[in-house]
Amino acid sequence: MALRAGLLTTLEPSSPLFAFSSSLPKTPHRLLLFPRRPPAPVRRFFSPLISYNLHRSPVASMASTASYEKELAAAKKAASLAARLCQTVQKALVQSDVQSKSDKSPVTVADYGSQALVSLVLKTELPSESFSLVAEEDSSDLRKDGAQDTLRRITELVNSTLSIDGTYNITLSEEDVLVAIDSGKSEGGRNGRHWVLDPIDGTKGFLRGDQYAIALALLDEGRVVLGVLACPNLPLTSIAIPDEHSSHKQVGCLFSAKIGDGAFMQSLNGSSSAKIHVSAIENSKDASFFESFEAAHSMHDLSSVIAEKLGVQAPPVRIDSQAKYGALARGDGAIYLRFPHKGYREKIWDHAAGYIVVTEAGGVATDAAGNNLDFSKGRYLDLDTGIIVTNKKLMPALLKAVQDAVKEKSQSASLL
């Protein structure tokens, strides 16, 4: 009797399981194909071997793609609640007569509150699963002397958001909130499941009253298998289409994707979702660029050289946060470039959710060398120069333009 790649082959007549095998339709080898569910005695007998092979078999990997429905539902719930909390804080910030861009306390409250809510919802909705969260924040600063007022505000905001939603009949103490925030200390990695969260991606956009996102993804054995982007200020219609009534556009998008199932968008108020797809543009001259709004986040000069090489005529669209990934996934533009300044290390929470939303919408995301993005190495992405995202038809030309521009920049620097 032999077990390989999830297949149990010929049973000897002396085997206690031969009688079960004999009742099956006759085939040359009487194959029992896993992961089709066998009777309980067989499951008990082979459970260690089946478990081993499910982590290594391509058959098992394909079968697992249908197993993330409850996780996706929990992620959408968590991100939506966090978005509601952030909207409350941003609205108060924008309406304040004394707002200051140097005052980071509003975004601090929203950041911590968002992380606490996401942690709480995921643990509540998925109680039987071991919980690992890779996230930006921990509670160390909130436990220091002088932070009591901030912690009180966060706790009140979290409880108010839960009360208004009405799904969970609970009230959190300040210590409960601290514990929930500290759930995000995981280092991630290639083994097991890890949630990946940026509680507010695009803090400067948040402070300006502009674009930001709550970005949540799930890693399974190092692969991004689902992702959700809640973008409270992103219009439901394309930002690429000029509209004189743009101030009256309905805003608030929830993007979601599950591996092998495509990408979808719905409004944050709970409307039905619609499948989305990246732009089908083939001519690079017609391709519009997305870039980070803040010049400090990306080398805009390098992006300009690349655009020139491609003959792009449209000016770049600069918006904050992973909202760019959502906008690109639904076809608002065709190319997203991000080239961090030397020494900066990309964190996985800045890209994981956006990555799967774009790739499930038919896009491609690589580093500047054309390597796939690898989220399995812990809290950071190891990249060659930067990140490029586009559709499959434009990628070859874009990749060549990027590599030529990077090479020229490097040669120019070496002459100085």
Task: Give the residue among 315, 368, 366 at the shortest CA–CA distance from 339.
Answer: 368
* φ/ψ (deg, to 5) at 40: -55, -45
Residue-wise DSSP of 222-243: TEEEEEEEEEEEEESS-TTS--
Q: Catalytic residue at 350?
A: no
Decide if 307 contacts 316 (C-beta within 8 A).
yes
Task: Give the residue among 99, 124, 133, 79 at the shortest CA–CA distance from 268.
Answer: 79
CB count in 10 Å sphere of residue 99: 14
> Can you tell me the distance from the alpha carbon of 87 to that of 90, in angstroms, rounded to the nearest whole number?
5
Angle between helix 105-125 and helix 69-95 axes, rounded to 10 deg: 160
- Strands 133-135 and 387-391, by their bridges, are unpaired
* The one catalytic residue among 203, 359, 366, 385: 203
The residues facing 391 across adjacent strands are: 363
Burial class (CB in 10 A: 0-12, 13-18, 19+), 402: buried
> Can you tell me the distance from the alpha carbon of 142 to that of 161, in angstroms, rounded to the nearest whole number?
20
- Strands 289-292 and 335-338, by their bridges, are parallel
> Can you tell me the distance from the alpha carbon of 291 to that of 320, in angstroms, rounded to the nearest whole number?
8
Q: Which token pair is 99? A: 């707002």
Q: Catalytic residue at 384?
A: no
Q: Catalytic residue numbers?
A: 111, 203
